[in-house]
């Protein structure tokens, strides 16, 4: 196991512990604030559940960034500031339901400011475009119990195994906070991450990818994002299909591949989450070059196509050959 991974274990452990200890306090605060997600026809859950649990992950991240701010875990302060700003934006959306245009503008501004701080004007342009894309992809995909925790854990774990010291702190923090929050979200959710959590995890990935772009160009960007391949592919293909059918893109729906899998008889949320985590880990470990990053999309494409393949197989099994007469 890599030296980077071994030396990151205190950061992983402290982040996980702080997240887990903060979770019951956050749950009580969400209940008092009446931040409850009431199920509707588009929901994957059936009972009212507190949302905004990502606040516990934010507390865990604050501890992790404090421990990992020096030595081999030194991180550009703009990364932590961007992640914190995005998490705060998500928590505000959980509470007040901010307009989509305001959220998008805020995300683009945070991405542009971070890119300018760490890499200049080119990175600022990439950040203004990439950060909202990544954050909203995570937000769209965070619809069944455990899927984002599994994906974020796989992202952090694979990045640490790749011995990328420059992203050690964000990777360790993502791994730790996902492990610390998972018992509160899997297999039955006591609370949801909410926008606070999806913006937080999306922000960590996006900020790290932008920092990698400023150091290594497109290769660094692709390699950082490869574990998120299923999220990006499923979001992109689903939006393309809905646009082709003339549906309103901002309207709630249940046509993502992960939702269709979770709706199948015999499939539990944790089955889909585990499958997404395996795909994220496989993709993350396979991307050592730009060609490897492209190959890493293969598992993501296969998982995105799985609901259609299963449906097609069922339709074939229902076909009976006509009896010869």
> At how many degrees (to 10) do helices 121-141 and 194-216 cross?
150
Q: Is the dihedral of CA 319, 237, 197, 73 positive or negative?
A: positive
**DSSP type of residue 46:** S
Separation between Cα atoms, residue 263 and residue 257, nearest integer Å? 10
**DSSP three-state, residue 1:** coil
Which is nearest to 255 in space by CA: 2, 44, 65? 44
Q: What is the pLDDT of residues 91-117, one digit of tens each?
A: 999 999 999 999 999 999 999 999 999
pTM over 0.85: yes
Category of 199 on φ-ψ map: left (φ > 0), alpha (ψ -120 to 50) or beta: alpha
Domain range summary for the chain, segments of one domain joined by +: 3-227
Separation between Cα atoms, residue 267 and residue 287, nearest integer Å? 30
Alpha helices by DSSP H, the chain: 3-32, 54-67, 77-96, 100-119, 121-141, 147-161, 168-181, 194-216, 218-225, 229-244, 257-262, 269-286, 290-295, 297-318
- Which parts of the chain sit beneath pLDDT 70? 1-3, 40-43, 45, 69-72, 163-166, 287-293, 319-325
What Å distances lie between residue 148 and 113, 177, 186, 250, CA to CA? 26, 11, 11, 21
The pLDDT value recorded for residue 287 is 61
Q: What is the pLDDT of residues 210-257, one digit of tens each?
A: 999 998 888 888 888 999 999 999 999 999 998 988 888 777 788 899
Separation between Cα atoms, residue 181 and residue 197, nearest integer Å? 10
The pLDDT value recorded for residue 321 is 56
């Amino acid at each position: 196991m890599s030296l980077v991974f071994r030396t990151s274990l205190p950061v992983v452990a402290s982040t996980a512990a702080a997240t887990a200890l903060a979770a019951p306090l956050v749950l009580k605060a969400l209940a008092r604030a009446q931040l409850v997600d009431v199920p509707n026809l588009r929901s994957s859950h059936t009972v009212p559940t507190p949302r905004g649990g990502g606040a516990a992950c934010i507390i865990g991240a604050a501890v992790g960034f404090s421990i990992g701010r020096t030595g081999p875990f030194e991180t550009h302060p703009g990364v932590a500031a961007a992640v914190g700003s995005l998490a705060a934006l998500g928590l505000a959306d959980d509470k007040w339901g901010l307009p989509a245009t305001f959220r998008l503008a805020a995300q683009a501004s945070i991405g542009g400011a971070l890119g300018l701080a760490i890499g200049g004007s080119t990175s600022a342009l990439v950040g203004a475009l990439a950060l909202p894309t990544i954050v909203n992809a995570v937000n769209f995909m965070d619809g069944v119990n455990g899927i984002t925790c599994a994906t974020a854990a796989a992202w952090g774990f694979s990045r640490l195994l790749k011995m990328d010291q420059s992203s050690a702190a964000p990777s360790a923090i993502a791994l730790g906070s996902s492990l610390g929050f998972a018992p509160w979200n899997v297999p039955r959710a006591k609370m949801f991450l909410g926008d606070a959590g999806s913006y937080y995890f999306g922000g960590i990935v996006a900020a790290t990818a932008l920092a990698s772009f400023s150091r290594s160009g497109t290769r660094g960007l692709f390699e950082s994002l490869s574990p998120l391949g299923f999220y990006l592919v499923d979001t992109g293909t689903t939006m393309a299909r809905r646009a082709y059918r003339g549906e309103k893109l901002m309207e709630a729906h249940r046509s993502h591949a992960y939702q269709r899998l979770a709706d199948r008889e015999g499939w539990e949320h944790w089955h889909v989450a585990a499958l997404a985590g395996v795909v994220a880990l496989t993709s993350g470990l396979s991307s050592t070059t730009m060609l490897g990053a492209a190959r890493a999309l293969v598992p993501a494409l296969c998982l995105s196509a799985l609901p259609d393949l299963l449906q097609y197989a069922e339709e074939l099994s229902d076909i009976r050959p006509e009896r010869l007469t």
